[in-house]
Amino acid sequence: MSVRALAAKVLNQVVEQGQSLSQALPPAQQDLSPKDRALLQLLCYGVLRTLPRLDFFCRSLMKKPLKGKQRVLHFLILVGFYQLLYTRIPSHAAVGETVNGTKALKSPALKGMVNGVLRSFLREQESLIEQADQQDTLRYCHPSWLVKRLQEAYGETLAAKIMDENNQQAPMWLRVNALHHSREQYQALLNEAELNSFSASDVENSNALRLEKATDVYKLPGFEQGWVSVQDGAAQLAAHYLDAQPGELILDACCAPGGKTVHTLELQPKIKEMVAVDADQKRLIRVHENLQRLQLSATVIHGDASQPDSWWSGELFDRILCDAPCSATGVIRRHPDIRWLRRDSDIADLVALQKSILTALWDKLKPGGVLLYATCSILPDENELQIQSFLQSRSDATLIELSGQYNSRGEGRQLLPNEDGMDGFYYAKLHKSL
């Protein structure tokens, strides 16, 4: 099937049917050559990064919006605009291939219409772009509620920078398995494989390497033997901040797919036990896969972190990682669909869920123990305001300072997207008094 037509179908599933890109894209990529797979990914990610602009161009050039069964052709047209504006595909090929997509979408009668809209765009693009640049939502390609929240939190200039970073491609980060190699040793192996990499700037982020160019994981030396994993540099800070010690009982309360569970075990194989809990049964399969590839073990439990009495063994934990469900606004670079799938009203629900998880877990922490709260959000409500309110409500909780706080804006450490090439993330480390 035509790659452009496949892209239109995937985009229709995401934007119109609310599926996530990680659900909709892989099945569409299945039978494609590596080159077409990469093109399909580029088109889907690209259109989602620039959606309101492309929508605006389409609205401006068409008398009536395409609806019902024809809606998928709207996305075919957006795929056409995207190629013309943001790729090096020559315009005659971009138009020709896109128009051909109508056949695969079983709408050959609309070939002329798609061709006409794309050609009008080629003629009128300069003035359309000028008009688009005058509106915030179209300039930043973020929904207005998120533009507003980011501007309120960070001011206009920084918010604009954050949104610009969100529209860039994220680099590929590796986590070197400390049980096999030091970062320097593994970097030498990467050099031998002609893969250039850079160390993270944070001193404690000692297993993190950023690749100059993304690559297939199977090209990474020893991937199948568990020498290395793919994990963003910001997410890798969790296990370092948690700092598990020999003999300790550790809880990873929202663990799936298990990146931080296994990193904690790689850093400290002598803990007493790792209990890894998640409410999503399907996502737990990935935890088992990760543990198996890395030959590590944990007690994996399907359970609700806000209701620990339904799964808790009765022994208080020495350390707890609470990598809470969140808006994922820090990882929009990697998941460009998030901004269109989330609604403003989701934030209050997430804040309430995070609060209930945090409060319930606190009771399962030993006096003298440590809880690391983490999110991949950049919204203060889910982060420093959440922690401020928790600290006000619990006299037995105090904040432990985290290293690398040079860029912090309040309680805990808030990393913004692309600081040192990393994702947006938030950490707060809490100590429970004896």
Measured distance CA(281)–CA(318) in Å, rounded: 26
**Rounded to whole angstroms, how far apart are CA atoms 158 and 171?**
21
Cα gap 174→167, rounded to integer Å = 22
* 382 binding ligand SAM? (CB under 6 A): no
Give the interface segment with ligand SAM, choosing from 20-28, 39-47, 158-166, 278-286 (CB under 6 A).
278-286
Given candidates 279, 285, 316, 341, which one binds ligand SAM under the rule CB under 6 A?
279
CB 263 within 8 A of CB 231: yes
342 sits near ligand SAM (criterion: CB under 6 A): no
Supply the residues annotated as catalytic.
Answer: 376
The answer to whether 209 touches 183, Cβ cutoff 8 Å, is yes
Tokens of 273: 């036990």
Stretch near ligand SAM under the rule CB under 6 A, chosen from 9-17, 90-98, 100-108, 272-280: 272-280
Distance, CA of 99 to CA of 224 (rounded, Å): 42
| Range in contact with ligand SAM (rule: CB under 6 A) among 94-102, 184-192, 271-279, 343-351 | 271-279
Q: Check binding of 84 to ligand SAM (CB under 6 A).
A: no
Say whether residue 325 binds ligand SAM (CB under 6 A): yes
Residues touching ligand SAM, count (CB under 6 A): 20
Confirm or reject binding of residue 280 to ligand SAM (CB under 6 A). Answer: yes
Cβ–Cβ under 8 Å, residues 8 and 83: no
Q: Do residues 316 and 365 touch, judged by C-beta distance below 8 A?
A: yes
User: In angstroms, what is the minimal distance from the CB of 115 to ligand SAM?
Assistant: 44
Nearer to ligand SAM, 259 or 417 (CB): 259
Question: At its nearest, how many Å lie between ligand SAM and the CB of residue 375?
Answer: 7
Indicate whether 332 belongs to the interface with ligand SAM (CB under 6 A). Answer: no
Toward ligand SAM, which CB reaches closer, 37 or 302? 302
Hey, which residues between 351 and 380 contact ligand SAM (CB under 6 A)?
357, 376
Question: Does residue 124 bind ligand SAM (CB under 6 A)?
Answer: no
Nearer to ligand SAM, 141 or 271 (CB): 271
Work out whether 257 is an interface residue with ligand SAM (CB under 6 A): yes
Smallest distance from the beta carbon of 280 to ligand SAM, in angstroms?
Answer: 3
Q: Rounded to an integer, what distance in angstroms lies between the CA atom of residue 60 and that of residue 251?
A: 54
- Contact call for residues 187 and 197 (beta carbons, < 8 A): yes
| CA contacts within 13 A on the Cβ side of 25 | 18
Residues 208, 209, 213, CA angle at the centre, nearest 5°?
A: 150
| Smallest distance, ligand SAM to C-beta of residue 252, A | 6
Half-sphere CA count of 355, side-chain side, radius 13 A: 18
The dihedral sign for the CA sequence 250, 253, 258, 263? negative
Task: Give min distance, CB of 354 to ligand SAM, in A.
Answer: 9
Instruction: Say whether residue 255 binds ligand SAM (CB under 6 A).
Output: yes
339 binds ligand SAM (CB under 6 A): no
Minimum distance between the CB of residue 202 and ligand SAM, rounded to whole angstroms? Answer: 17
- x-or-dash pattern for ligand SAM, window 299-318, by CB under 6 A? -----xxx------------
Q: For ligand SAM, give the closer residue by CB, 294 or 357.
A: 357
Give the residue with the Cβ less far from ligand SAM, 232 or 419.
Answer: 232
User: Of 323, 382, 384, 411, which one interacts with ligand SAM (CB under 6 A)?
Assistant: 323
Q: What is the DSSP letter of 18?
A: -
Contacts of 292 (CB under 8 A, 6+ apart): none
Smallest gap from residue 424 Cβ to ligand SAM (A): 13
**Where would I find the beta strands (DSSP E) of 227-375?**
228-230, 249-252, 273-278, 299-302, 317-323, 365-375
Q: Which residue is nearest to ligand SAM (CB)?
A: 254
Distance CA 121, CA 126 (A): 9
Nearby residues of 297 by Cβ (< 8 Å), 6 or more positions away: 265, 274, 291
**Residue 257: cis peptide before it, omega within 30 degrees of 0:** yes
Nearer to ligand SAM, 104 or 279 (CB): 279
Neighbours of 10 (CB within 10 A): 28
Give the binding site for ligand SAM (CB under 6 A).
Answer: 235, 254-260, 277-280, 283, 304-306, 323, 325, 357, 376
